[in-house]
Amino acid sequence: MVAAGLFLGLPCYPGRMLLTTLLVLALPQQTSPQQPGAAATRVTLTPMTAKPGENLPWSPKGAKVDLRRDGEALTGAFALGPTGPSGPKAVAVRLEHAASSTHFDVLSIDLDRDGKFGAEERLTTTAKDTRGKWWSSFDATVQVPFAADTKAEANQKATSVPYAMALWFVEDPKEPTAPPTLRWSRRGWFEGKAQIGGKDVFVLVSEMALDGVITAEDSWALATDRKLLLAAGPRDLAGHCWLEDRAYRATKIAANGLSLELVPFDPSTTEAEEKANADIYKPDREAKRAIQPLAFATDFAKAQAQAKKDKKRLVVDFATTWCGPCKLMDQFVYTAEDVVNAAKDVVCVKLDGDVERELVKRFAITAYPTMLLLEADGTEVRREVGYQSVAATVKFLAR
Q: Which residues are catalytic?
A: 323, 326
Cα-based distances in Å from 388 to 9, 16, 396: 8, 23, 9
Distance CA(91)–CA(76), nearest Å, equals 8
String of b and e for 285-305 (b: at least 16 CB within 10 Å)? Answer: eebeebeeebebbeebeebbe
**Dihedral-angle region of residue 139 (phi above 0 means left; psi in -120 to 50 means alpha; beta otherwise):** beta
User: Do residues 390 and 280 make contact, with C-beta atoms less than 8 angstroms apart?
Assistant: no
Contact in structure between 15 and 183 (CB atoms under 8 Å):
yes
Among residues 269, 248, 161, 206, which one has the least CA distance to residue 24?
206
What's the Rg (C-alpha) of the chain?
24
The answer to whether the CB of 218 falls within 8 A of the CB of 205 is yes
How many CA atoms, within 13 angstroms, populate the side-chain half-sphere of residue 203?
Answer: 30
Dihedral angle sign, alpha carbons of residues 101, 113, 209, 229:
positive
Cβ burial 154-168 (10 Å sphere, 16+ → b, else e): bbeeebebebbbbbb
SS3 398: coil
